Amino acid sequence: MSLAAHLEELGRPLVEEQLAHPTVAGIARGDLDEAVFRSWLEQDYLFLHDYVRVFARLAWQAPAGHLGDLVDLAHATFHDELDLHRSLSAEFGADLDGARKGPACAAYTAFLLDSAASYAEGLAALYPCMWGYSALGARLARNPPAEPRYRRWVDTYADPGFAELTRRCAQMIDEAAPERGRAERLFLEGMRHEIAFWDVPLGG
């Protein structure tokens, strides 16, 4: 079993934990309180800007064969994901310009940016976000919400193009070959940040 596949096995119970989280369950049903999703959009918008910086930091260290992959990941995040957030934010009344990081967002982005000081370890740390959202999207797309705004969110992460980006990230992890125990610890820490991120701050 490849290292990336091993990490995915470790992460599957934590994906189930995310699916059971009230925020994710509300998206799945299409009846999540709009105030909760609005706050999540604001937090994730801030997160994604730092996520682009993580890809850029890794691209600077990448072997020539994967420079383009990391540029593609940064481009897809900066354009596709952030465009989705801007569009949904207009519909939910989110204040992207006035948003400030909550504790979960600040802790997660600090973890990722610090981990990206090492190419191999940075890939292991960010894989929970890439693989986790691809896994969530695939699961939620089996019975997608009827509410069109939440359906658009699900469709973004269930898209085959997003799954392909995730597979490319898995290939980079396997080729970079971080120390297995360290990769496991970083991956599981990233998964814990993913779960904590769904507890979005409300009321400022």
Q: What is the dihedral of CA 139, 13, 128, 26, to 10 degrees?
A: 50
Interhelix angle 3-20/119-140, rounded to 10 degrees, is 50
Long-range pairs for 58-66 at CB < 8 Å and ≥24 separation? Answer: 58/116, 58/119, 58/122, 58/123, 58/126, 61/119, 62/119, 62/172, 63/175, 66/172, 66/175
Residue pair 124/183 in contact (Cβ under 8 Å)? The answer is yes
Told to judge if 169 belongs to the known catalytic residues of this protein, a careful annotator would answer no
Residue 129, number of CB atoms within 10 A of its CB? 23
Q: What is the dihedral of CA 21, 196, 76, 146, to 10 degrees?
A: 20
Told to judge if 105 belongs to the known catalytic residues of this protein, a careful annotator would answer no
Which member of 42, 81, 105, 129 is catalytic?
A: 129
Burial class, 136, CB count within 10 angstroms (exposed 0-12 / middle 13-18 / buried 19+) = buried
Burial class, 121, CB count within 10 angstroms (exposed 0-12 / middle 13-18 / buried 19+) = buried
Which active-site residues does the annotation give? 129, 194
